[in-house]
């Protein structure tokens, strides 16, 4: 069975958890309801008189955390179910262990994808920082949304081409390709009183060794 989807995916909030439906095998087991389209999730909520909005999961890491937290009798996941005469017709139905082990590739990236960098004439947009021993260091500017990148460029009086980094493999490839003088990654840098700075920076070597790796 070919099970593929793109993020975000959507859950149906209900009380302190999320909606599940009875499994179609006649047992008392339940299936977590997951939609791959926000409109379909909202339609399910409207059809069943449920208040609020669907909850989006942005990446495999968030989905994995949720699956790890589920307990019996929720033992399966139903993708895109349609309830017809009290029977659920689903796009896919899969057990939680099979979903985790065969179809869910999670990683330890410290951000949600996609992220964005800015290509300029001399390379990618960077900010200058300082090591603990006073040495100057360059950090590539990485943004968690296009809007933050555009705000930074406007404040800095710079221009460039916004480049999307859609997954961990692309992030690793990007960091591996940087010149040695680019030592770290600055997350969502800003310009404050003409000074370019970022609250969070990661050493590239540490990212490649500990964070941009697949979860076991």
Q: Each residue of 135-149: pLDDT tens digit?
A: 788 999 999 999 999
Half-sphere exposure (Cβ direction) of 9: Cα atoms closer than 13 Å:
21
Whether residue 3 is contained in a domain is answered as no
Q: Based on the domain organization, do 146 and 74 belong to the same domain?
A: no
Residue 209 has pLDDT above 70, yes or no: yes
- How does residue 33 score in pLDDT terms, banded at 50, 70 and 90? very high
Give the end of a domain, one of 76, 103, 130: 103
Number of domains forming the structure of the chain: 2
Q: Based on the domain organization, do 90 and 48 belong to the same domain?
A: yes
pLDDT attached to residue 85: 63
Half-sphere exposure (Cβ direction) of 181: Cα atoms closer than 13 Å:
8
Could you read off the pLDDT of 98-133 as tens digits, one per residue?
998 888 887 889 998 899 999 999 899 999 987 767
Q: Based on the domain organization, do 94 and 17 belong to the same domain?
A: yes
Q: Based on the domain organization, do 147 and 177 belong to the same domain?
A: yes
Whether residue 178 is contained in a domain is answered as yes
Whether residue 89 is contained in a domain is answered as yes
Query: Could you tell me the residue range of the domain that residue 187 belongs to?
Result: 115-211
Q: Based on the domain organization, do 88 and 149 belong to the same domain?
A: no
Cα 129-153-160 angle, rounded to 5 deg: 100
Give the other-Cβ count within 10 Å of 44's Cβ. Answer: 20
Q: Based on the domain organization, do 94 and 13 belong to the same domain?
A: yes
Whether residue 4 is contained in a domain is answered as no
CA distance 97 to 163: 36
Q: Which of 72, 120, 114, 118 is nearest to 96 (CA)?
A: 72
**End-to-end CA gap in the chain:** 23
Are 41 and 48 within 8 A, CB to CB?
A: no
Quick one: 32 exposed, middle or buried, by C-beta within 10 A (0-12, 13-18, 19+)?
buried
Q: Based on the domain organization, do 120 and 97 belong to the same domain?
A: no
pLDDT more than 90, % of the chain: 73
CA distance 34 to 115: 25
Are 189 and 199 within 8 A, CB to CB?
A: no
Give the end of a domain, one of 68, 103, 138: 103
Whether residue 2 is contained in a domain is answered as no
Are 56 and 42 within 8 A, CB to CB?
A: no
- The average confidence (pLDDT) of the chain is 92
3-state secondary structure of 140: strand
Quote the pTM value: 0.70
Look at 75 and 112; give whichever has higher pLDDT.
75
Whether residue 109 is contained in a domain is answered as no
93: phi then psi, degrees, rounded to nearest 5: -130, 130
CATH number, position 93: 3.40.1350.90
Are 61 and 109 within 8 A, CB to CB?
A: yes
Tokens 């390379």 map to which residue? Answer: 123
Judging by DSSP bridges, how do beta strands 30-35 and 74-79 pair with one another?
parallel
């Amino acid at each position: 069975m070919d099970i593929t989807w793109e993020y975000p995916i959507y859950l149906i909030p209900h009380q302190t958890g999320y909606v599940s439906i009875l499994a179609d095998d006649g047992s008392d087991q339940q299936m977590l309801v997951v939609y791959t389209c926000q409109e379909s999730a909202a339609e399910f909520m409207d059809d069943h008189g449920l208040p609020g909005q669907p909850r989006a999961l942005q990446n495999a890491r968030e989905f994995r955390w949720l699956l790890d937290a589920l307990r019996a009798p929720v033992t399966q996941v139903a993708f895109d179910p349609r309830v017809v005469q009290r029977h659920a017709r689903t796009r896919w139905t899969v057990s939680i262990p099979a979903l985790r082990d065969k179809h869910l590739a999670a990683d330890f990236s410290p951000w949600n994808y996609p992220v964005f960098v800015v290509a300029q004439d001399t390379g990618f947009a960077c900010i200058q920082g300082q090591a603990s021993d006073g040495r100057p260091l360059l950090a590539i500017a990485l943004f968690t949304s296009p809007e933050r990148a555009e705000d930074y460029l406007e404040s800095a009086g710079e221009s460039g081409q916004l480049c999307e980094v859609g997954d961990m493999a692309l992030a690793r490839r990007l960091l591996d390709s940087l010149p040695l003088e680019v030592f770290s990654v600055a997350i969502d840098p800003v310009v404050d009183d003409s000074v370019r700075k970022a609250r969070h920076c990661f050493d590239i070597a540490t990212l490649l060794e500990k964070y941009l790796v697949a979860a076991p």
